[in-house]
Amino acid sequence: MVPHLTTALTGPLLDLERNFLDHRTEIEQWFRAQWQETRPPFYGSTDLRNSGFKLAPVDLNLFPGGFNNLNESFLPLCVQAAQAAIERICPDARRLLLIPENHTRNQFYLQNVAQLVAILRLTGLEVRIGSLSPEVTEPTTLELANGATLLLEPLERRGGSLGVKNFEPCAVLLNNDLSAGVPDVLRNLDGQWLIPPLHAGWHTRRKSNHARAYSRIAQEFAQVIGIDPWRINPEFGVCGQINFKERTGEECLAAQVDALLGRIRAKYKEYGVSDEPFVVVKADAGTYGMGVMTVRDASEVQGLNRRQRNKMSVIKEGLQVQEVIIQEGVHTFETCADAVAEPVVYMMDHYVVGGFYRVHTERGRDENLNAPGMHFKPLAFETCCTLPDAAQGPDAPPNRFYAYGVVARLALLAAAVEIEETASTELEQAAA
Amino acid sequence: MVPHLTTALTGPLLDLERNFLDHRTEIEQWFRAQWQETRPPFYGSTDLRNSGFKLAPVDLNLFPGGFNNLNESFLPLCVQAAQAAIERICPDARRLLLIPENHTRNQFYLQNVAQLVAILRLTGLEVRIGSLSPEVTEPTTLELANGATLLLEPLERRGGSLGVKNFEPCAVLLNNDLSAGVPDVLRNLDGQWLIPPLHAGWHTRRKSNHARAYSRIAQEFAQVIGIDPWRINPEFGVCGQINFKERTGEECLAAQVDALLGRIRAKYKEYGVSDEPFVVVKADAGTYGMGVMTVRDASEVQGLNRRQRNKMSVIKEGLQVQEVIIQEGVHTFETCADAVAEPVVYMMDHYVVGGFYRVHTERGRDENLNAPGMHFKPLAFETCCTLPDAAQGPDAPPNRFYAYGVVARLALLAAAVEIEETASTELEQAAA
């Protein structure tokens, strides 16, 4: 089953997919040239929004947590792409230590870890799992609902080397986004690959850095295929000094929201879109959909009540929000049995290896579907994202998935550029 | 459906698959290291023989002709691997010219060409087909039985550049094995990638060079996983000066056959194999199963009748046989509805992308199944070759396919080494 795409527009609808399809040679050639210059991350996933007139990424995750949601028939693609990633980043690695998130009670996340371990083992690596969680004080076997088992082991630091008992890994792969900061145990590793680099973690990463990199890449790409970059690029603004608890910075935020809504309104007018523009206010350093708010008018961010302020002021691991990004909202026009369906695309190295829809019945098409405690039903992509078929309509599943894969790779490329550009941050922090 | 494996042995049966399964980490690590040092060919396929006690390649084709026989669900794997091959060999290529074999009436071969074109186009290349055939004097559209169409165009040489009308390719990919020698039109190309290099063609290539390279690689690999290299390596001998028509060199051939049969008998005794040993005599420069003969006793190669001598003396394109390789025969113990079934594995870059069985009802298990005019029924591999599963028996399909993939990659590596080592041949020929 593939979600149905509806939109109020008939004009530009499918123009974008058609354009991607017509320019697929230029597109692939352009990506090939980019990846010659920029090293792709080991892995990543991106949340897309598809309004028909606009297809854009709203988040790029460098610690993807849903490998268990991919179509099983994509497993060989994942293995092949993981082989490429290992050859590119750590070709001599024999033993790999995977460091997952600490939420050891989330069955869905644990199934993701199990799937990731399976993929990595199939590339011919010995894989063990080292946990940062203080609760894991001895080897702990978890039985998963899908029948798989996971062995979590406490991390052991021996000099410059990180491992678990009787296991000296050549490479350490993070599936933990470091929202709480970098644990000392991960610092100053000597002779071990640490993937991705520490500054890819959310303690350092800023959504606005990514948005800036994406914006430049979208401009360049749009020129190659002759489209308005707005069709793939959400507009954004940043507010640097905000304190929701102490109610400072509200004016700055309101002004930014107003300006951004104005720009979107102008674009909607240009394209004859009659939907109501909205923006999404997010913690610049946040993740997991915490500290996120949908706004249709600047007045909504002024005079927030206590509940709203509390919701916005704290993100994962109890961090206080200081900087926010205001991102153009993109309506979700894909539905599946009347439920809103949003695509998530998975990549390893620079290859698209699959994806799934987050299908959510309880939320509107302009709301954030990746909110805490939110339950979505994953719907794996039916076909893969690399088989566009010009003989079919631009909206046929292989072509829609191809379009997803194109935009997802743009976001991945932006993340790669972002990580390169922010590498000095890590050095500065290490020196401090 | 997966062919049934029967063998008279119960002892060493499945030992090999079990060993591959137990050592898959070492195996993948070893391959990773090899491919760091040796550049894989763009593509290749290999014919395997599986007697249960022995799993060995008997041929490695650098111009694979059966992409149409692969499981359709492997297409994404092919596309991903082809992307890797292009990035490795000709990353800047935008336009590729494919040069197929000349037999434009073979529907099966033409479907292979169409499939190859589809794969290459999906990587984002513009692809046109330039024919070496003197019959193709103008653009010729062929309608294939499966509904696809192919446009063959006459080659155009413009100075140092090869192309077709209004098409200047960056890369020229050969799917023509150059049995008839190198046409002048392919020589001294200036600024275009020619893939694979000319000396990979059968005008220069010798089966014995490949066998020597394979033998060394099999030795090294066998040591890594602790097996007798004979389990994966067919013994061979070479006879350099033979003329079947003039009946010279028969004694040399008979002596080699006798010696080789003796070595095989000793091995069979060591492993308790009660089957009758046999060898296969092949033209060292031959292809397409021409000039091939199955021999069980040295006396069989002496006093050949006129028909036999004629059959052995000419290979593809009317070339005369002068050198022969005598290769240990490996019994085929896989059957499919009582028909002999032999695996063929397909690779692009260093990735196994699929394979199929040649299923043939009219031949015995010690005969060559790739003979001229021979009709086989292709049976695509059900699952891919990269998903070994230790939880299943060593003979379960994913594990048997994994074993095929391992041995196929050894043969591909041998071809890569062979092509590196024979590169000087090409330079010498160019200088001559």
Query: At B163, which CATH number?
Result: 3.40.50.11280
Contacts of B80 in chain A (CB under 8 A): 77, 80-81, 351, 386
Q: List, as ranges, residues 106-125 from A with C-beta within 8 Å of B.
A: 121-125
- Answer whether residue B201 is part of any domain: no
Residue A304 within any structural domain of the chain: yes
β A279-283/B351-360 pair status: unpaired
Parallel, antiparallel, or unpaired: how do β-strands B292-295 and B279-283 relate?
antiparallel
As a whole number of Å, the end-to-end CA separation of chain A is: 53
Q: Which residues contact A134 (CB under 8 A, 6 or more apart)?
A: none
Both A341 and A383 in one domain: the answer is yes
Sign of CA dihedral A364, A367, A368, A373: negative
Closest CA to A58 of A176, A290, A214, A262: A214
Q: Give the CA-trace dihedral at A379, A381, A382, A385, to 10 degrees.
A: 180
The span from the CA of A140 to the CA of A154, in Å, is 9
The interface predicted TM-score of the complex, written ipTM, equals 0.90
Residue B303: inside a domain: yes
B86/A contact by beta carbon, under 8 A = yes
CA–CA gap between residue B277 and residue B296 (Å, rounded): 7
Q: Give the mean pLDDT of chain B.
A: 88
End-to-end CA distance of chain B: 53
Residue after which a domain boundary falls, among B167, B195, B223: B195
- Which of A221-230, A372-381, B294-303 is the least confident region? A372-381
H or E element that contains A210: helix A207-225
Same domain, yes or no, for B18 and B37? Answer: yes
- For residues A54 and A74, membership in a common domain is answered with no
Specify whether B241 is located in the same domain as B287: yes
Residues B275 and B381 in one domain: yes
CB-based contact B384 A122, cutoff 8 Å = no
Q: Cβ A124–B29 below 8 Å, yes or no?
A: yes
Average pLDDT over residues B398-420: 96
Structural domain boundaries, residue B99: 71-195
What is residue B9's predicted lDDT score, i.e. its pLDDT?
A: 40
Q: Does the residue B430 lie in any domain?
A: no
Supply the pLDDT for residue A243.
79
- pLDDT tens digits, A127-151: 999 999 999 999 999 999 888 899 9
Nearest-Cα distance to chain A for B92, in Å, is 7
In DSSP notation, A275-316 reads SPP-EEEEETT--TT-SEEEESSGGGGSS--HHHHHHHHB-G
One domain for residues A230 and A212 = yes
The reported pLDDT for the residue numbered A425 is 62
Q: With a cut of 70, say whether residue A286 has pLDDT above it.
A: no
CB contact under 8 A, A91 and B32: yes
Domain boundary among A263, A297, A329: A329
Q: Is residue B431 part of a domain?
A: no
Answer whether residue A201 is part of any domain: no
Taking only the tens place, the pLDDT of each residue in B123-161 is 999 999 999 999 999 999 999 988 889 999 999 999 999
Do A111 and A130 fall into the same domain? yes
Chain A residue closest in CA terms to B79: A386
| A387–chain B Cβ distance below 8 A for any pair | yes
H or E stretch at A130:
strand A126-131
Contacts with A, B 4-33, CB within 8 Å: 24-29, 31-33
Shared-domain flag, residues A316 and A335 = no
Q: Are residues A18 and A8 in the same domain?
A: yes
- pLDDT of A428 above 70: no
Residue B143 lies in a domain: yes
> What total of structural domains would you count in chain A?
3
Q: Is the pLDDT of residue A72 over 50?
A: yes
Identify whether residues B373 and B341 lie together within a single domain. yes
For residues B233 and A34, what is the distance between their CA atoms, to the nearest angstrom?
43
Q: Please provide the DSSP assignment of A61-126 as one string.
A: ESS---GGGS-GGGHHHHHHHHHHHHHHH-TT--EEEEEE-S-TT-HHHHHHHHHHHHHHHHTT-E
Q: Is B37 on the interface with A (CB under 8 A)?
A: no
For the cut 90, the answer to whether the pLDDT of residue A195 exceeds it is: yes
Closest-CA residue of chain B to A90: B32
Indicate whether B56 and B84 sit together in one domain. no
Judged by average pLDDT, the poorest of B245-249, B324-328, B368-372 is B368-372
Provide the Cα torsion B422, B429, B86, B131; round to 10°.
-130
Q: Single out the residue in B169, B195, B221 at which a domain terminates.
A: B195
Shortest alpha-carbon distance between residue A246 and chain B (Å) = 52
Q: Is residue B273 part of a domain?
A: yes
* H/E stretch holding B418: helix B397-421
**B22 → chain A, closest CA residue:** A124
Q: Are B84 and A84 a contacting pair at CB < 8 A?
A: yes
Query: Tokens in use for A374?
Result: 């939110």
Read off φ and ψ for residue A232, nearest 5 degrees. Answer: -125, 0
Band the pLDDT of A396: cuts 50, 70, 90.
confident
- Tell whether A188 and A215 lie within a shared domain: no
Query: What's the pLDDT score for residue A311?
Result: 73
Name the band, by pLDDT with cuts 50, 70 and 90, for residue A83: very high
